[in-house]
Structure 1
Amino acid sequence: MDTRAEYISEITKLPKKLREVVNGLTEEQLNTPYGEGKWTPRQVVHHLADSHMQAYMRMKFIITENHPTIKPYNQEDWATLSDAKNYSVDASLNIIDGLHARWTNFLSSLNDTDWDRTAFHPERGEIKLDSFLKLYAEHGNKHVGHIQGLRSSKRW
């Protein structure tokens, strides 16, 4: 996967992949970490909603502002909040459905010049919009893989 169109396609496909990988999991299974000190499938789903909302907004800032500074957040702290640890995954799955529909529409509307726009991230330094696209396309797939791995190892 190395073209813009392929990355956008991965972002488009994530909601379906995520729904499929959590489909049929019980509450107990949703609360089972995929490794020692790792998140649960429930936390992963909520993290993807949180993270991808951030990504969509960051990309819009990059397009509408001149070299904006991107505010980082502590994803580990967010994953310990009640809405990430205890709330139904349905809310975040619905957010991801709508968010990814809008996000891919937005991404598909950008021209070549837009993709060269940059932002400053305090932890990553200067980053191009193109790099953000790749990062988040891979991000979603990585987390789906974590849940798939858990399902395989537990034979669910």
Structure 2
Amino acid sequence: MEQLRYPIGPFVSPGQPPAAERKQSIDEIRNMAQVLRAAVLPLTIEQLNTPYRPGGWSVKQVVHHLADNNMNAYLRFKRGLTEEAPEIPSYREELWAELSDYHEEPIETSLALLDSLNRRFAGLLVSLEEEQFNRTFISLMLGTMTLDTAIQRYNWHNRHHLTQITSLIERSGW
């Protein structure tokens, strides 16, 4: 069950990345929505409403969660750029996943949001100076983290959920 929940394992920060690795991370943010779209658009309504694991969120809920989480990530990052080590509250993702938009809105709404948001996020990231990636914020759940680490964590989070979806597709033979 743990392999289904965390198919790529826990987040492990590789430390401060070299410039080429950071560029790859920024590209991953920019292209995330297209990769997710390619995985979920062929799915039927029934398949989208299937939990990725017993007791887990449906594929549809995961897609909407990714849009919400990426919005929060973008705002955390901007606060880290413009404030001195701001404290960033978490949000109750499990409660957000029960709200009506997670069940009633089509996934295209969140895919379009992700696409626009992540293009803007990537545009911001490529404009930054090296030392700006060393700025920090304080996550009330995870502690102090640099913006470099935050980027790595956001990408891990996106890959984590994308792999939950693609693993379900593979296991189910869709």
Please classify the TM superposition score into its range, dividing by the shorter chain length.
over 0.9
Shift of 1:150: 0.8
Could you tell me which of 4, 9, 22 is aligned with 2:40?
A: 22
Structure 1 position 145 matched with structure 2 position 169: no
| CA deviation vs aligned residue, 1:24-76 (integer Å, no higher than 9, x gap) | 21111100001111111100110000000000011000001111110110111
Match of 1:110 in 2: 128
The letter of the residue matching 1:127 is M
Runs of 4+ aligned residues of structure 1 deviating over 4 Å after TM superposition are: none
Which structure 2 residues correspond to residues 28-47 of structure 1 after superposition, within 5 A?
28-47=46-65
The letter of the residue matching 1:142 is H
The number of equivalent residue pairs is: 156
Match of 2:103 in 1: 85
TM norm structure 1: 0.96
Shift of 1:4: 1.1
Shift of 1:123: 1.2
Cα RMSD (Å):
1.2
CA–CA distance in 2 between the matches of 1:150 and 1:116?
37
Structure 1 position 128 matched with structure 2 position 146: yes
| CA deviation vs aligned residue, 1:71-95 (integer Å, no higher than 9, x gap) | 1101111111111123210100110
CA–CA distance in 2 between the matches of 1:35 and 1:85?
17
**Worse-superposed segment, 83-92 or 99-108:** 83-92
| CA deviation vs aligned residue, 1:89-117 (integer Å, no higher than 9, x gap) | 01001101100110000011111110010
The letter of the residue matching 2:138 is F
SS at match of 2:138: strand
TM norm structure 2: 0.86
**Worse-superposed segment, 25-34 or 138-147:** 138-147
Give the gaps of 5 or more residues in structure 1: none
Shift of 1:133: 0.3
CA–CA distance in 2 between the matches of 1:99 and 1:13?
11
The share of aligned pairs that are identical, in percent, is 39
Give the gaps of 5 or more residues in structure 2: 1-13
Match of 1:9 in 2: 27
* 2:30–2:115 CA contact under 8 A, matched in 1: no
